[in-house]
Amino acid sequence: MGMIALGLRNLLRNKLRLVLVGILIGVPFFLLLAMYSIGDAVQRQTAVLTENVNTVLQLRARGSMGHVNMVGQDRILPRDVLEKVRGIEHVEHVEPYLLAMAPITPPNFVMHVGLAPTAVKRLESHGEAGNPRIIAGRDLTPEDAGQDVAIIGQGYAQWAGIKPEHMGTAMLTVDPTRTHPVIFGMDRPTRELRIVGMYASGYIFGDLQLFLPIDTFRSIYGTDQGISWLFVKVDSVGNVPFVAQRLREIVGDVADILVPESAAVFTATTSRRVTQFAGAGGLLAFALMVIVVFFVLLMTVRERAREIGTLRAIGASNGGVTAQFLTEAVALSLLGGALGLLLFRALGAMATGRLFTLGIGPFLPSHYKPLFESLTVSNQVSASVVLLILIVAVLAALIGSAYGIWRAVRLSPIEAMKHE
């Protein structure tokens, strides 16, 4: 019966208290894991956005928004631009898009976007910043090329009366004849598209789009040639100026070349702020753990003063008493960590988003909030999460128990002689 084993057995003396203390430590652990996952999700999102933003150039027909059905904006990029751009050194790949505006309840508009099924789903007017995530159904796949299928933004879906549970069965009618003062009424037949997925972009206008395979788009709108937007992915940020220069030389006569950076700057700034808030939340959770361990250990030492005195009287060393209480503290913290992890597995994905919205959202500039409200946080338990729990549990135990252990070690064996 070593002192470490004695410390472990002491935990089981009062099972109700063990559970209560476990929960008291587990809840801050849950909070810590939630903050960690928020920080991780934001950083991952930032990395994706940065990758998609800082190395991407956008081409549109000169002086045009490139929408195939907008009055006075009907000029689109000639199709041969695609081949010219592909031939430029350091261009990794190109993504052609076709766009058509459609009125819903005037004066609002939705945007129909034709794209290669696996291309990045870029959002009109924030094409460089958009990061839509599928929230119901599925994404487009290569097999969808040329099929009458689409994925829909949650705002558009709401207007059309399509619910998330209808994915795969809901139908949406695309009517090119519908008009608005600034839109051509195109004399084309309507088409029924099957909605296979729903996305959320985090901001209202971004949620008013419909993504469909580009061949399907061409067939609906009768646009056999041309491209609304051409996104050019460069192999590295350093080569962007070179590619931009080559684009100006090769297709500058027909295309405006946009180098979108503002979104990346915004994303990095916002990401930094969110990470800072998440870090502060994590520190708060850690402080709560330390406080719980602190009071539990202090209470334990007070309750067991006579027992500690007895151990001291019969020859327990300072190291032995320290080992016993440290074992208890570490085991309690680890138990809390395990409970926190279970909570996180059970509620993490659902509660973390709420936690983010309620706890961090209010501190963000109002116009950035929606972007992160649809933040997809993971409740997966990776090796780094387990390592985080182990390190935090041991640290909280060490810091929280230090004073209690100091008190225990200083207890005189005379305590053992005190009568009730």
Partner 1 sequence: MNRAAPLIELRGVSKFYRKGGESIDAIADLTLELPEKGMVAIVGPSGSGKSTLLHIIGAMDRPTRGEVIVAGQLLNGLSQGELTRFRRRTVGFVFQTFNLIPNLTAVENVSLPMEFNGVAKSDRVKHAKALLERFQLGHRFKHRPSELSGGEMQRVAIARAIANEPRLVLADEPTGNLDSKTGALIYELLKQISRERTVLVVTHAEGLAAMADRALHLQDGRIAA
Contact in structure between 327 and 7 (CB atoms under 8 Å): yes
In 2-108 the beta strands, taken as DSSP E runs, fall at 56-61, 91-103
CB nearer to partner 1: give 2 or 238.
2
Largest CA distance in the chain: 101
CB nearer to partner 1: give 10 or 52.
10
- Please, what is the minimum distance in Å from the beta carbon of residue 332 to partner 1? 16
How, if at all, do strands 109-115 and 133-137 pair?
A: unpaired
CB nearer to partner 1: give 195 or 411.
411
CB nearer to partner 1: give 267 or 324.
324
Residues at the site binding partner 1, with contacts judged by CB under 8 A: 1-2, 6, 9-10, 12-13, 306-307, 310-318, 320, 412-414, 416-417, 419-420
Contact in structure between 56 and 260 (CB atoms under 8 Å): yes
- Please, what is the minimum distance in Å from the beta carbon of residue 35 to partner 1? 37
Contact in structure between 188 and 68 (CB atoms under 8 Å): no
Helix (H) or strand (E) holding 24: helix 15-54
Token pair of 38, please? Answer: 């928020």
Closest CA to 167 of 140, 141, 194, 147: 194
- Please, what is the minimum distance in Å from the beta carbon of residue 326 to partner 1? 17
User: Measured between alpha carbons, how far is 385 from 176 in angstroms, rounded to an integer?
Assistant: 51
CB nearer to partner 1: give 13 or 354.
13
Helix (H) or strand (E) holding 351: helix 318-355
- Please, what is the minimum distance in Å from the beta carbon of residue 5 to partner 1? 10
CB nearer to partner 1: give 71 or 417.
417
CB nearer to partner 1: give 2 or 279.
2
- Please, what is the minimum distance in Å from the beta carbon of residue 3 to partner 1? 9
CB nearer to partner 1: give 94 or 326.
326
In 144-290 the beta strands, taken as DSSP E runs, fall at 149-153, 171-174, 191-200, 209-213, 229-234, 255-258
CB nearer to partner 1: give 50 or 310.
310
- Please, what is the minimum distance in Å from the beta carbon of residue 415 to partner 1? 9
- Please, what is the minimum distance in Å from the beta carbon of residue 303 to partner 1? 11
User: Measured between alpha carbons, how far is 302 from 314 in angstroms, rounded to an integer?
Assistant: 19
User: Measured between alpha carbons, how far is 175 from 189 in angstroms, rounded to an integer?
Assistant: 7
- Please, what is the minimum distance in Å from the beta carbon of residue 398 to partner 1? 23
Q: Which residue type occupies 47? A: A
Token pair of 64, please? Answer: 């045009």
Helices (H), 102-251: 154-160, 214-221, 240-251
CA 188 to chain centre: 40
- Please, what is the minimum distance in Å from the beta carbon of residue 412 to partner 1? 7
